[in-house]
Structure 1
Amino acid sequence: MERTGAIEKQSMVRLENIKKSFDVSGKSVEVIGGIDLDIEKNEFVVLFGAGQCGKTTLLKMIAGLEDITKGTVYIDGKKSSGFHPGVGMVYQTTSLFPWLTVMGNVEFGPKARGIKKEERRKKAQYYIDLVGLHGFEKHYPVKLSGGMCQRVGIARAYCNDPDIILMDEPFGHLDAQTRYMMEEEVEKIWAKEKRTVIFVTNNIEEALYLADRIIILTECPAVVAKEYRIDLPRPRSMVSEEFLALREEISQLVDIPRESEEKAV
C-alpha cells in the first residue's frame, strides 16, 4: 500500500518478495531473486531487461501460470492463487485457434462463459473494429499477416473484460515497420480502453514509447535494478531530444545492442 497524506492507495498488482527457482540437473537455480513491486490501476508498466533475465517467468507468475517459489502476488488487494479471471494475456506467438475465424477467436472467451450470441458478437465486433480489422471477421488465421494475427490476439484479450492485460514480447517476431505500427496501435487502444498493462520487452525504443514506468531487471537471478517514470507527452517521438537522452541512459544500464547494430549482425 502507498499513502498520500491520510489517503491509502491500493495497487492493482502487488508483488511481495517474489522468488523463483528451477531444478536443473538436480541443482536449484534461482532465476528471480526477490522482487517487490506495486503497479497502479490503469498504469502501463514495462518489464525491461536483457534476454533470458526472467521477464517472462515473472509475467507467468503474475498470471498464475507458473508456481511461485517464495513470495506473494496480490491482484486488486487480494492474494492471488492460480489463474485470475481478471487477467488477460497476449503471448509472443499469436496462439490463435486456427479452426476459428477472427470473430470466433475474439468471441471465444465470452462464449465459453455462456454469454448470449447477440451480446458477445456485438462486443467482439467492437474490439475487432478497435484494432482495425473490420471486414476480416470471417477470415481464418492462416489468411492473416503476423501483425493482423497479433491484433486478433489483442482484441481477444480485451473482449474478456480483464482488469489487467499481460503482454509477453508480442511484437518481437514482427518486422521493424509492422512492429512500430503495432506499438502505435497498442498505445491508442490503451488510451481509449484504459487497463492496467504489464508489457515485457527487451527493445529500448518500444519500452520508452509505451511505458508510464519502466522496471529494469538485472540478469539472473533477476532483481529490480532501477525504475524510470516516463513523463514524456503522448504520442511520443522516438527522435525527440528527451527520448534519445533516456534511451542512451538506459542503454548504459542494460547491455542490449542498438537496433541498428542488431541489423548489422
Structure 2
Amino acid sequence: MKHDPIISMRNVCKTYISEHKTNEVVRDVSLDVAENEFVVLFGPGQCGKTTMINLIAGLQLPTSGEVVVDGKKVTAPGPDRGVVYQTTALFPFCTVMGNVEFGPKSRGIDKKTRRERAEYFIKLVGLEGFEKSFPNQLSGGMRQRVGIARAYANDPKVMLMDEPFGHLDAQTRYMMEAELEKIWQKEKRTVVFVTNNSEEAVYLADRIIILTNTPTHIKEEIKVDLPRPRQYSDPAFLEIRRKIEEICDDTL
C-alpha cells in the first residue's frame, strides 16, 4: 500500500520583489519526500536551496504553489519541523543542557520528562559529560552536535538541515557526517539536507535532488542504493559522485 508523502511541495515558486527589481529564486518545484527518507538538496551556492528549506520550515511562504507537511499546509513554523543551520545559533547564556531542553520547556513539557529526553539526545550525539558547558567552551563540531540534539529533543517529524557542516574543517566534517548517519539510523526522522558537496551528498542520501542555478528548479533525481555505512572509496560510491558532477557540469 502506498503511503502519502510526509513532505509535499506542489508547483512552488518564490519571488522576492523590491522597489528596484524582481528576483525569482524558486521556479515551479514539485517534490515529495517519504517518511524517514533522507533527501539531499544538491546545487551550487546561492541557487535557492536555503529558500526551499525555509519554505518547508514555514519561515517564508511561497509566492505561488503550496507546501504540505504531514497532511497540513505550511503557513508558519512549527515544532513538527526541526531546523539546523550552518551557524548553530545556540543560546550563549545557556549550557548544553539548557539549549537542548529549550524546545520541550517552551512547549510546557514537565521537567522530569524533558530532562530525560535531553540527556538521551546529548548522549546520542556524543556529548555526555558536557551538559554544563557553555557554547563558547565547545569546538565547532561540538556546537553542531548540540544543535542536532536540540532539534531532535523537540521530537519533530521532519529535520531540515542547511549545510550544517559547511563551516567545519575537512576532518571534523567527515566525523560529523559519520555521526549524523549513525544518529539517523538510531532515531529515524524524515531529513531534508542541503549541501553543495557531492561526496557528502552520496554518503548521506537515500535520494539526491539536483537543482539548477537561480531560478532553481529540479534538474534530476538520483537514488543512492548503497549499503550503510558507505565507503568513500567504493567504486559504486565514486560512480554516483562522478554522475552528479557530470550532470552539474552540463547544466548548472
Shorter-chain TM range is over 0.9
Q: 2:105 is matched with which residue?
A: 111
Structure-2 separation of matches of 1:210 and 1:225:
20
Q: 2:78 is matched with which residue?
A: 84
Q: 1:238 is matched with which residue?
A: 232
Q: Determine which of 222, 226, 236 is the counterpart of 2:220.
A: 226
Q: Once structures 1 and 2 are overlaid, which stretch shifts more, 114-123 or 169-178?
A: 114-123
Structure-1 separation of matches of 2:244 and 2:107:
43
Q: 2:200 is matched with which residue?
A: 206
**1:181 maps onto 2:175 in alignment:** yes
Q: Determine which of 146, 150, 153 is the counterpart of 1:152.
A: 146
Kept in 2, the 8 Å contact 1:86–1:163? The answer is yes
Amino acid paired to 2:3? K
Q: 1:16 is matched with which residue?
A: 10
Structure-2 separation of matches of 1:47 and 1:252:
16
Kept in 2, the 8 Å contact 1:50–1:255? The answer is no
Q: Determine which of 18, 23, 28 is the counterpart of 1:29.
A: 23
Q: Once structures 1 and 2 are overlaid, which stretch shifts more, 133-142 or 8-17?
A: 8-17
Structure-2 separation of matches of 1:142 and 1:48:
31
TM-score normalised by length of structure 1: 0.92
Amino acid paired to 1:21? T
Unaligned 5+ segments in structure 2 are none
Q: 1:259 is matched with which residue?
A: none
Kept in 2, the 8 Å contact 1:111–1:117? The answer is yes
Structure-2 separation of matches of 1:196 and 1:104:
25
Q: 2:55 is matched with which residue?
A: 61
Question: Quick one: percent identity of the two aligned structures?
Answer: 60
Q: Determine which of 95, 98, 106 is the counterpart of 2:92.
A: 98
Cα distance, 1:153 vs structure 2: 0.2
Cα distance, 1:25 vs structure 2: 4.7
Structure-2 separation of matches of 1:141 and 1:104:
11
Structure-2 separation of matches of 1:91 and 1:80:
20
Q: CA RMSD in A?
A: 1.1
Please give the residue correspondences for 1:122-161 in structure 2 after superposition, counting only pairs within 5 Å.
Answer: 122-161=116-155
Amino acid paired to 1:39? V
Structure-1 separation of matches of 2:146 and 2:36:
22
Structure 1, residues 46-78: CA drift from partner, whole Å, max 9, x if none?
000011100000110010001211100011122
Kept in 2, the 8 Å contact 1:187–1:210? The answer is yes
Amino acid paired to 1:235? P
Q: 1:46 is matched with which residue?
A: 40
TM-score normalised by length of structure 2: 0.97
Unaligned 5+ segments in structure 1 are 1-6, 257-265
Structure-2 separation of matches of 1:200 and 1:230:
16
Cα distance, 1:85 vs structure 2: 2.3
The runs of at least 4 consecutive aligned structure 1 residues that moved more than 4 Å come to none
Kept in 2, the 8 Å contact 1:123–1:159? The answer is yes
Kept in 1, the 8 Å contact 2:61–2:75? The answer is no
